[in-house]
A = this chain, B = another copy of it.
Amino acid sequence: MAVQKSAAPGKPHPDATRRSERSRRAIYDAALALVGEVGYPKTTIEAIAARAGVGKQTIYRWWSSKADVLLEAFMDLGERTAQAAGQDADAVPDTGDLAADLKAVLRATVDELRDPRFEAPSRALAAEGVVNEELGRVFVTKLLEPSLQLYVDRLRAAQEAGDIRPDIDPRIALELFVSPLAQRWLQHTAPFSYEYTDTLVDYALYGLVPR
């Protein structure tokens, strides 16, 4: 990634203090727009530069690849959206009813994944991350894990309340309902529905075998 290597050895990053904020914004906007309009593979760096009214070199100066641009653009979009939505927008609620709380959050996730503004870029990043180890790592640590941590927190609270068995590892447990949803979305085995996510929660919480 092109980010925060304050003392990169090989190719010394240019002076970030003199960077044009205007260009950065324009590049983010152009990148996200293009991915939405023509898809990730047909989004070219030349087109991003042209649309942003920016020289190609300005992109190559600050990012190492198309994927890198898009990743930062997407993270920026996330931040801006989060700010606009207020601080604790992403926290899993805790009403005391674990099943209901999880279902509510998953339903919200379904809605978000359907938002076309997010769909194209996040698909693109997920796909690229599958094939590009480095980007995949950043994608996971910067974007995915923070969200998942919210589930961990909620599940741990549930453990303390006695709603979840104490020997359960929350980080693994959350995958029982989050991964299937992600999988369906990624592989367009969808359409995924509220009913589907509700079912996932029920199965995961109460198990498959007769009680």
With both chains docked as a complex, state the minimum distance between the C-beta of A161 and any C-beta of chain B, in angstroms: 11
With both chains docked as a complex, state the minimum distance between the C-beta of A200 and any C-beta of chain B, in angstroms: 7
Q: Determine whether the beta carbon of B208 is less than 8 Å from that of A164.
A: yes
- Which residues of B have CB within 8 Å of A139? 187
Query: Is A28 among interface residues, defined by CB-CB distance under 8 A?
Result: no
- Which residues of B have CB within 8 Å of A126? 130, 187
> Which residue in B130, B132, B137, B204 is a CB contact (below 8 Å) of A207?
B204
- Which residues of B have CB within 8 Å of A172? 180, 196, 199-200, 203
Query: Is A129 among interface residues, defined by CB-CB distance under 8 A?
Result: yes
Q: A183 CA to B177 CA in the complex, in Å?
A: 12
- Which residues of B have CB within 8 Å of A209? 163-165, 205-206
Query: Is A20 among interface residues, defined by CB-CB distance under 8 A?
Result: no
- Which residues of B have CB within 8 Å of A184? 175
With both chains docked as a complex, state the minimum distance between the C-beta of A18 and any C-beta of chain B, in angstroms: 14
Overall SS of chain A's interface? helix
Q: Determine whether the beta carbon of B203 is less than 8 Å from that of A203.
A: no
Q: Determine whether the beta carbon of B187 is less than 8 Å from that of A200.
A: no
> Which residue in B136, B155, B173, B204 is a CB contact (below 8 Å) of A187?
B136
- Nearest to A188 among chain B residues (CB) is B136
Query: Is A87 among interface residues, defined by CB-CB distance under 8 A?
Result: no
Query: Is A10 among interface residues, defined by CB-CB distance under 8 A?
Result: no
- Which residues of B have CB within 8 Å of A131? 39-41, 123-124, 127
Q: A interface vs B, CB < 8 Å?
A: 39-41, 123-124, 126-133, 136-137, 139-140, 144, 155, 162-165, 168-169, 172-173, 175-177, 179-180, 182-184, 186-189, 196, 199-200, 203-211
A-B CB contact pairs (8 Å), 25 listed: A40-B131, A127-B127, A127-B131, A130-B187, A136-B187, A136-B188, A140-B188, A144-B187, A163-B209, A164-B210, A165-B210, A168-B203, A172-B196, A172-B200, A175-B179, A175-B180, A175-B183, A176-B176, A176-B204, A176-B208, A179-B182, A203-B204, A207-B208, A207-B211, A211-B211
